């Protein structure tokens, strides 16, 4: 089992949808964790997915796209 597998298992078991790194407006789902590199980075945070609504901003995402926000 890799470190990435352990992170995915933890997130899934605790009801999270993925990871995000808010400072650089990066987010990913559990089906494609850390497509940006070698695995989750230390600054990634547990995230919940939701559809971007009118008037919200999330990098290059457009209204209707799925985005990942830091989970409460």
- Give me the pLDDT at residue 40, please: 72
Domain extent for 10: 3-70
pLDDT (tens digit per residue) in 18-58: 999 888 888 899 999 888 776 677 889 999 999 999 998 88
Total domains present in the chain = 1
Q: Against a cut of 0.85, is the pTM above it? A: no
Residue 60 has pLDDT above 80, yes or no: yes
DSSP output for 7-72: HHHHHHHTT--EEEEGGGTEEEEGGG--TTSSS--TT-EEEEEEEPPTT---TT--TT-EEEEE--
Distance CA 21, CA 2 (A): 21
């Amino acid at each position: 089992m890799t470190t990435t597998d352990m992170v995915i298992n933890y997130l899934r078991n605790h009801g999270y949808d993925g990871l995000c790194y808010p400072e650089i407006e990066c987010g990913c789902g559990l089906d494609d964790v850390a497509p940006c590199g070698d695995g989750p980075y230390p600054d990634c945070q547990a995230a919940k997915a939701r559809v971007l609504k009118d008037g919200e901003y999330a990098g290059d995402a457009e209204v209707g796209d799925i985005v990942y926000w830091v989970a409460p």
